[in-house]
């Protein structure tokens, strides 16, 4: 979705779905593209390979490679390559946080840590995979094991909170609803980023449980949704418009 002018800021969205389902066509949320293009930004929603056909490491690399591809086409797309944001929801929030804290994915794509101006994570979890798997309960246990396996070293490597020592992406915005694990995981990631000296904002939004988790994705971009204004203000600060 093009923005205004020849050097529009770009918001890249990464969908959720438990690392094993979903696509840009059914999990982006209807309000985002019209809202952000209405502000003059360009908007893109990307796909990535899904578990079990791919690993979470490959998914994170897909996200980094998508950033590199869109940067390489910036002039054609009318996008400013120096004003790009990664936004993700749920599993997508985990993936954008991972590529924003473990710079091996950007490096493999030929990118530097400042290839994006910032990361927006919408109600993610599994930022600390070992803790998530120990405390997440039975409902998601198989999903987490399918995604992250049983090797503790691999689980730590796939944990943004445990990878948050610098270098990181330049700025983070973490939003969460009232879910016990999502709240705790978001707070722990914010603390780890802050300890590393990486600028981070964290906000709690209305909505509880699975309904709230879906609402943050469906309604982000709606003028009446509480998270929309928070994201808009953060983008204005980073993009200068």
Give tens-digit pLDDT for 111-134: 999 999 999 999 998 999 999 999
- Segment 93-103, tens digit of pLDDT: 999 999 999 99
Distance between alpha carbon 235 and the CA centroid of its chain, in Å? 14
Mean pLDDT over residues 8-19, rounded?
97
- Residues facing 43 on adjacent strands: 11
- E strand or H helix at 77: helix 74-77
Res 47 pLDDT > 90: yes
The answer to whether the predicted template modeling score (pTM) of the entire model surpasses 0.85 is yes
pLDDT at 132: 93
Give the pLDDT of residue 27. Answer: 86
Q: What is the mean pLDDT of residues 179-188?
A: 94
Average pLDDT over residues 47-72: 98
Split at pLDDT 50, 70, 90, the class of 235 is: very high
Distance CA(51)–CA(134), nearest Å, equals 21
pLDDT of residue 1: 60
- Secondary-structure class of domain 84-89+102-239 per CATH: alpha beta
Gap between the Cα atoms of 101 and 170, Å rounded: 10
Is 43 strand, coil or helix?
A: strand
Q: Is 198 exposed, middle or buried (0-12, 13-18, 19+ CB in 10 A)?
A: buried
Residue 112 falls in which region: left (phi positive, over 0), alpha (psi -120 to 50) or beta: beta
Q: Which structure tokens are listed for 60? A: 């994170």
Which candidate, 173, 177, 153, places its Cα nearest to that of 88? 173
Question: Is residue 153 scored above 80 in pLDDT?
Answer: yes
Q: How confident is the model at residue 136 (pLDDT cuts 50, 70, 90)?
A: confident
List of E strands, 179-225: 200-208
Q: Over range 142-169, report the average pLDDT.
A: 96
Q: What is the pLDDT of residue 163?
A: 98
pLDDT score for 241: 74
Average pLDDT over residues 137-143: 81
Range 190-209 average pLDDT: 97
Is 138 a residue whose pLDDT tops 90?
A: no
Angle at 101 between CA 230 and CA 62, to 5 degrees: 95
CA distance 174 to 183: 10
- What's the pLDDT at 135? 85
* pLDDT score of 2: 67
pLDDT at 75: 94
């Amino acid at each position: 979705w093009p923005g205004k002018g020849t050097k529009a800021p770009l918001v890249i969205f990464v969908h959720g779905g438990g690392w094993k389902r979903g696509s840009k066509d059914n999990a982006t949320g209807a309000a985002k593209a019209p809202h952000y293009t209405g502000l003059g930004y360009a908007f893109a929603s990307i796909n990535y390979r899904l578990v079990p056909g791919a690993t979470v490491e490959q998914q994170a690399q897909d996200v980094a490679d998508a950033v590199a591809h869109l940067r390489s086409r910036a002039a054609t797309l009318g996008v400013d390559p120096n004003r790009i944001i990664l936004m993700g929801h749920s599993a997508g929030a985990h993936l954008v946080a991972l590529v924003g804290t473990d710079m091996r994915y950007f490096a493999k794509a030929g990118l530097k840590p400042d290839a994006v101006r910032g990361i927006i994570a919408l109600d993610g979890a599994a930022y600390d995979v070992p803790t998530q798997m120990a405390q997440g309960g039975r409902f998601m246990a198989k999903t987490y094991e399918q995604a992250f396996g049983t090797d503790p070293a691999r689980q730590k490597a796939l944990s943004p909170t445990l990878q948050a020592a610098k270098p990181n992406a330049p700025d983070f915005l973490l939003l969460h609803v009232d879910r016990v694990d999502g709240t705790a995981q978001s707070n722990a990631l914010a603390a780890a980023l802050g300890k590393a000296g990486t600028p981070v904002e964290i906000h709690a939004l209305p909505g509880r449980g699975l309904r709230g988790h879906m609402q943050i994705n469906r309604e982000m971009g709606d003028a009446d949704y509480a998270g929309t204004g928070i994201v808009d203000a953060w983008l204005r600060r980073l993009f200068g418009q």
